[in-house]
Structure 1
């Protein structure tokens, strides 16, 4: 018998089961805290718990399940619920037909929230409830919803963070290594913020994701695509094999003369077994004079195996952390060196080849 398939009952699951459990537990905590605090609060002679469930429960779903959503941020939760309550209250007073008042309240609430940048779906429930309330007033409708919204946001800032996520959400964009407003070198290519704005304007639909998050997400997509494209090129294919290296036991004076002879400012230092022990620079060698090179070396060296894909070099050579990387075997024996120039050359060549192939394909031809 063919098993019954119900595709509509299950869609894509972008989060793990543990993440779902953390979201559920966060919701339990924030709703409980908000409910107990609302139960203890009094506006006039009214207990607040009857108005807690419908709008606040929906707000809790957004905050705990998708805390990065613009619809779940404090401005949206508090502003959206309060404005919707005011809109629903106004419609109840102006329109005496309940169903018409409810319909206008929901539509007007959507318009107000969109125009003021605080769209919050549970606000529709707040507006609907206010328009259909038996005795609508600020004390019976807007006051309780406003207080519960504030309590929900305050409790969520603690509960959601304890679950390992951030709330309120802030997009984490790469920072400049020099403390300036420029992006890191590896993030400057490709699209710009202006491109995102233009694409969003052309798309013409409101997306449940901020522009900053789109920016961060698209840069991660670029990085992943770059890794996939360049994962087939190995470090051993682009490294310089005839490496100018210094002996750890030779004098700084002879090492400095050797660097000047080859017009180099820095070189790897190796021991008797050609294992890399550090790097030496002209300034330190000049100060060392007759001392051995090993006394002035910088022991911190970036090393990669020969079979590593060149995409592993991008974070090192494009961030300013290093200008060269040593290619070594399992015993740290020096096999070659890859500089920023080497990496730039192979990327340029790959770009030219891709452009030629794309041009041939557009013309309907083939490469010779």
Structure 2
């Protein structure tokens, strides 16, 4: 019986131990530098706004907690612009109200924090430092009490706005998308009601939404980031089970390509001769600058399959003898750009979302010097996924 009693206690005590943080040193330095710059500039600009003779604090203490969210976890729902502006100012209003209506400081402080949380939930601007701001409005002393509702604007509103402005500039300047907006699109490329092919098997956004409702707790991560993490985890697990099959293993190497100045008639002849639907367009260094396919010819020639298709196509690809031709003459004029490419050492599993999400059927494969090395089609990928374990065993042998 002694063993069974100590196990739950030991498990409970383990909850006090910190978990490892899987964040690299560069990201840690970036977050620290962001907070340094953010707080410094907020204090400096606040001094300019308030003036040198002000009795107001240039920085309120809870703004430091806001800096942690804005610079260390900028993708968090708790760190978005409406959360910091709305959460801080609403909490300040609640704190000032509780301080004026409730004379007992302890009860006023408790009521201010509780009501601030309720207000932030209702207005969808939950921001943890808001609780500290509500508490500051009650326990901040005579200087803050004498300000009344001006405390909401100055210093709370001004501090929050200045820090937010610095966060927007710093995060985007260091390649951290901020504000964070949902980026997952679950519509297919054909404009029909069907979900994208990648979403027809496995979990869906609706499944994730149902699970979050059952979980019924606030998560410090957005839904689309959580979904992206799940998908990346699935791909990582699949790579582990599948083996290291790269684009270089399955790509076509004997390629047919054209240059920018290749005449349209020659380009079309090459496509027909080799039974290809698309060709890469390369420069003299064999770097991919575009793609040209049947769709490019059809769209630029305004062709209708049932209205003189062949005659119109011949007129379109036939070169013009005029000095300044109005219609396109060469491949580079109608090619699609920019081009989505994949590296020669990229795992084939990483091609799945590229092909399914973009609607592409061919991906140019480039080497370490960004030169065209091969092409992978949907058929190549399907074959690799079907015969992958066999190919991986041959490589290991």
If the length of structure 2 is used for normalisation, what is the TM-score?
0.60
CA-based RMSD of the aligned residues comes to 5.1
Q: Does 1:158 align with 2:169?
A: yes
Alignment match, 1:24 = 32
CA distance in 1 between counterparts of 2:223 and 2:140 reads 38
CA distance in 1, matches of 2:45, 2:272: 77
CA distance in 2, matches of 1:206, 1:341: 44
Counterpart in the other structure of 2:4: none
Alignment of 1:330-349 (within 5 A): 340-341=378-379, 343-344=381-382
In structure 2, C-alpha distance between the alignment counterparts of 1:310 and 1:59, rounded to whole Å: 41
User: Cα deviation per residue 1:71-111 (whole Å; 9 max; x = unaligned)?
Assistant: 11111111111111111111111111111110111111111
Q: Is the contact made by 1:234 and 1:308 (CA closer than 8 Å) also made in structure 2? A: yes
1:19-42, CA deviations, whole angstroms, 9 ceiling, x for partnerless residues?
111111111111111111222223
Which 10-residue stretch deviates more, 210-219 or 14-23? 210-219
Q: Classify 1:37/1:197 alpha carbon distance in 2 versus 1 (closer, same or farther; 3 Å).
A: same
Rounded to whole Å, the distance in 1 between the matches of 2:377 and 2:272 is 22
Tell me if the contact between 2:96 and 2:149 (Cα under 8 Å) persists in the aligned partners: no
Q: Could you tell me which residue of structure 2 aligns to residue 322 of structure 1?
A: 361
SS for the counterpart of 2:61 is helix
Any unmatched runs of 5+ in structure 2? 1-13, 257-266, 280-291, 298-312, 318-329, 333-338, 366-374, 389-397
The yes-or-no answer on 1:230 pairing with 2:242 is yes
Structure 1 residue 233: deviation in Å?
6.6
State how far apart, in whole Å, the 1-side matches of 2:130 and 2:136 are.
10
Contact 2:92/2:134 (8 A) holds in 1: yes
Distance 1:304 1:38 in 2: 49
| CA displacement 1:282-302 (0-9 Å, x = unmatched) | 99xx989xxxxxxx999x9x9
Structure-to-structure mapping, 1:1-368, within 5 angstroms: 11-42=19-50, 46-49=54-57, 52-135=59-142, 136=145, 137-139=147-149, 141-144=151-154, 145-173=156-184, 185-186=197-198, 189-231=201-243, 310-311=348-349, 314=352, 318=356, 319-322=358-361, 340-341=378-379, 343-344=381-382
SS in 2 for 1:190: coil
Normalising by structure 1, report the TM-score.
Answer: 0.65
CA distance in 2, matches of 1:34, 1:304: 43
Equivalent position SS for 2:202 = coil
Gaps of 5+ in 1: 1-5, 246-251, 269-279, 289-295, 327-336, 351-368
Query: CA 1:39/1:9 → structure 2, altered by over 3 Å: closer, same or farther?
Result: farther
* Separation in structure 2 between the aligned mates of residue 343 and residue 172 of structure 1, nearest angstrom: 26
Deviation at 1:198, TM superposition (A): 0.6
> 1:341/1:40 Cα in 2 relative to 1: closer, same or farther (>3 Å)?
closer
How many Å separate the matches in 1 of 2:90 and 2:187?
A: 40
The 2-side partners of 1:23 and 1:162 are apart by 13
Q: Supply the distance in 2 between the matched residues of 1:237 and 1:18 (Cα, whole angstroms).
A: 33
CA contact (8 A) 1:174 1:183 kept: no
**Whole-angstrom CA distance in 1 between matches of 2:71 and 2:249:** 49
Aligned 8 A contact 1:106 1:124 in 2 = yes
> CA separation of 1:325/1:15 partners in 2, compared to 1, >3 Å: closer, same or farther?
closer
**Runs (4+) of structure 1 moved beyond 6 Å?**
6-9, 232-240, 254-259, 264-268, 280-283, 302-305
Closer/same/farther in 2, CA of residues 224 and 49 from structure 1, 3 Å limit: same
